[in-house]
Structure 1
């Protein structure tokens, strides 16, 4: 039996708000990389089409942001069959299972333990699906927020290079997290 290699499973989602029990997921992105994030093994991205988009004030900020970055239009135009919550949940499990066959998967991302994974648990997956997905992951995780807070504690500004507003789509957020992680590894070598 071949020994599994360690890998990072980068997770990012876009939502209508911050509460996984009430708000909706609109987009998900997963990337499986080497532990140094210099090699990408595979990626999965999908729009998630909710039955109805919210219209209350609590969605106003997210709506403006996601309208500006084109996500709202993509959600509206998405296939209800191909981008349904049920279909995307199965695709996420299939993707993760395929990566877990050869890798020990450490979840990675920004606030992923307190934001992204709870949304997967409470919004995307059924209870059984969450259990299947969660068992594919290592209990050890890499949170970019911890790295940024460490930099702040050491007197650095981890956000100083943000000179423009980012589009705030899963591709951009994952690109940024992975790039910053690679830079951070180079600094601590």
Structure 2
């Protein structure tokens, strides 16, 4: 896949209360835009994040109570979601408008979705924010850039440390874009 300078990466991350959408709630969504080397594009409009208020509360199951809910209790996301999050419909509409604004401002040849295990995030968005999923399908390229694949490939070269996060979308997206830039640097170095 050949890239041009007019291609843009749309980094996406979600935070949830379960592994599968049918078992939990979507609590937070974040997006960033960078060029193909992972450099942020100028302006605060290149970043988007929203805490989502689950319309039917948060369901507890044996499989999610401690590992996932404990993590999001400790990082404050559950409290923030229940007290001040934006509803799913409003979040989907707002996020779609943000992507349209990015498309209009940047006019990229391709807007390529990127992230860690990105299909996980797409599945959650499709299930919980279907209007946003429609917007992503119509406004982005069909190619995906998955950090998991890059990390696995780098692991074949030797030990690769994966940076841990607070499991909030801004922190995870910072990690992803930083690791992506490091990966690009490694690839450039091996090419020389």
Structure 1 length-normalised TM: 0.87
Q: How does 1:132-171 map to 2 (within 5 A)?
A: 132-159=135-162, 162=163, 166-171=165-170
**2:127 counterpart of 1:122:** yes
Distance 2:37 2:137 in 1: 23
**2:48 counterpart of 1:47:** no
Alpha-carbon RMSD across the aligned residues, in angstroms, is 1.8
Q: Is the 8 A contact 1:21 1:123 kept in 2?
A: no
Q: Identify the range of structure 1 (179-188 vs 146-155) with the bigger mean alpha-carbon deviation.
A: 146-155
Offset at 1:153?
Answer: 2.3
**2:101 counterpart of 1:95:** no
Which consecutive residues of structure 1, in runs of 5 or more, have no partner in the other structure? none
Offset at 1:40?
Answer: 2.8
SS of structure 1 residue aligned to 2:158: coil
Count of matched residue pairs: 177
SS of structure 2 residue aligned to 1:94: helix
Offset at 1:152?
Answer: 1.6
SS of structure 2 residue aligned to 1:28: strand
String of CA shifts for 1:54-84, please: whole Å, max 9, x gaps. Answer: 12223212110001111111112215xxx00
Which consecutive residues of structure 2, in runs of 5 or more, have no partner in the other structure? none
Q: Which residue number in structure 2 is paired with residue 11 of structure 1?
A: 12
Offset at 1:20?
Answer: 2.0
Q: Is the 8 A contact 2:117 2:146 kept in 1?
A: yes
Distance 2:143 2:82 in 1: 37
Offset at 1:100?
Answer: 2.0
The structure 2 residue matched to 1:110, chosen from 92, 109, 116, is 116
